[in-house]
């Protein structure tokens, strides 16, 4: 015998709910902001190094681009590692007893 399909509303709520172990949205926003800020600061440093070493406009542009990529890439790696660590810290042991839920 075929089972009765679940109502569409209940199935949709179960699919749209984020897993409980994910970091908060603010953690993602702060990580993104950190990567953008590091890219901007890296571009400033790269421009400054190119300005000291060369007088060409192209070298200034290349220095700013390389500095931005290195700065944003490094902070991006650290941000991903921090977000993964936060997810691991929030992961719950399935065999551990759960505390009772508070009524909403």
How far apart CA 100 and CA 104 sit, in angstroms, is 12
pTM exceeding 0.75: no
How far apart CA 16 and CA 29 sit, in angstroms, is 20
Please give the average pLDDT of every successive group of 10 residues along the chain, which has 104 residues: 56 60 88 97 96 92 96 97 87 64 71
Residue 17: burial class (beta carbons within 10 Å; 0-12, 13-18, 19+): exposed
Q: What is the predicted pLDDT for the residue at 78?
A: 97
47 contacts 63 by C-beta, under 8 angstroms: yes
């Amino acid at each position: 015998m075929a089972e009765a399909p679940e109502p569409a509303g209940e199935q949709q709520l179960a699919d749209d709910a984020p897993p409980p172990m994910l970091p908060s949205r603010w953690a993602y926003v702060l990580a993104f902001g950190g990567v953008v800020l590091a890219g901007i600061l890296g571009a400033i440093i790269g421009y400054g190094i190119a300005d000291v070493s060369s007088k060409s406009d192209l070298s200034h542009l290349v220095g700013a681009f390389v500095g931005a990529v290195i700065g944003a890439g490094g902070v991006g790696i650290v941000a991903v590692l921090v977000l993964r660590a936060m997810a691991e810290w929030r992961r719950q042991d399935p065999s551990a007893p759960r505390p009772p839920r508070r009524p909403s």
